[in-house]
Amino acid sequence: MFYTRLKVTCDTEVSEIIMAEVGELGFDSFLETDSGFEAYVELENYDKPEYLVIQEKYQQVAQFHQDQIQKQNWNEEWEKGYHPIVVEETCLIRAEFHQIEKRYPYELIITPKMSFGTGHHQTTYLMVKNQLLIDHRNKRVMDAGCGTAILSILASKLGAKEVEAFDIDEWSVSNGIENIEVNGCKNIHHKQGRLSELNISGKFDIILANINKNILLEELKLYQEYLASDGLILLSGFYTEDIADLLVEASRFNLKEQKRDERENWAALLLNR
């Protein structure tokens, strides 16, 4: 049996969007790469005209290459390139199939499907690193655009009282729920949708958002409305050169920079009132 393999080179900001549209064409196996992602579909199910529409739509922000390959054991191939991550010698992030002898204070079992958030990307690493420094005990936490739910799971393990997690993508919600169950977290509520559409009430002590600059600029107003008077907002998903724009928007709501962190030109910001 032969498959059509699609290789897409693009930035993280558009990777999930393109992946979602490709998924609508019948591509049912995905592999994240350092430069984007690969997608696979059985040759007889490949709809070339519809694919060309997507390629033309995103030609300014992504490069596309396709070829044909014989059927493989996708899980085996994926596992070869998916390695465990250790953040600051404190938090281990691994999949269920990883066998790790060394013990760490925190261990997260994250097996992604099409969802963003394995710890491999610089922004997820930055979020986990800085989240580990925040006191979560008995705190109410919001995880906006949660992806694999990695940050929600860490919040729960750090002692959060309650976590509200949500994402706009159906596959992220499905994958997030699976990861939450595997990690035995009982206090995470997972929903699909945007913050502006969801019926979420009350204030939050900690708001986590690892998305992208444009969405963060749009939603900072909402975040601050949900933020408790002494609460914290931890943001990532943007480049170091974007910090200034985010701080300008934050200042409109009396949000001030408490700390910033950087990793290979990606950045994280911790804000409070």
Mean pLDDT lowest among 37-46, 91-100, 203-212, 263-272: 37-46
Instruction: Output the CATH code of domain 2-78.
Output: 3.30.70
Q: Do the domains at 2-78 and 83-272 have one common CATH topology?
A: no
Mean pLDDT of 25-31: 77
CATH architecture of 83-272: 3-Layer(aba) Sandwich (3.40)
Residues 6+ apart with CB under 8 A from 89: 104
Q: Where are the domains of the chain?
A: 2-78, 83-272
pLDDT digits (tens, 9 = 90+) for 163-194: 999 998 887 888 899 999 999 999 999 999 99
57-73 in b/e burial notation, b at 16+ Cβ within 10 A? ebeeebebeeeeeeeee
Among candidate residues 122, 103, 93, 100, the one with its CA nearest the CA of residue 182:
93
What CA–CA distances, in Å, run from 247 to 42, 124, 265, 270, 273?
47, 20, 17, 10, 12
pTM listed for this prediction: 0.76
Which among 138, 156, 167 is positioned nearest to 228, based on CA atoms? 138
In the chain, pLDDT over 70 holds for what percent of residues?
92
**85-125: pLDDT as tens digits:** 999 999 999 988 888 889 999 999 998 764 455 666 789 99
Check: CB of residue 3 under 8 Å from CB of residue 40. Answer: yes
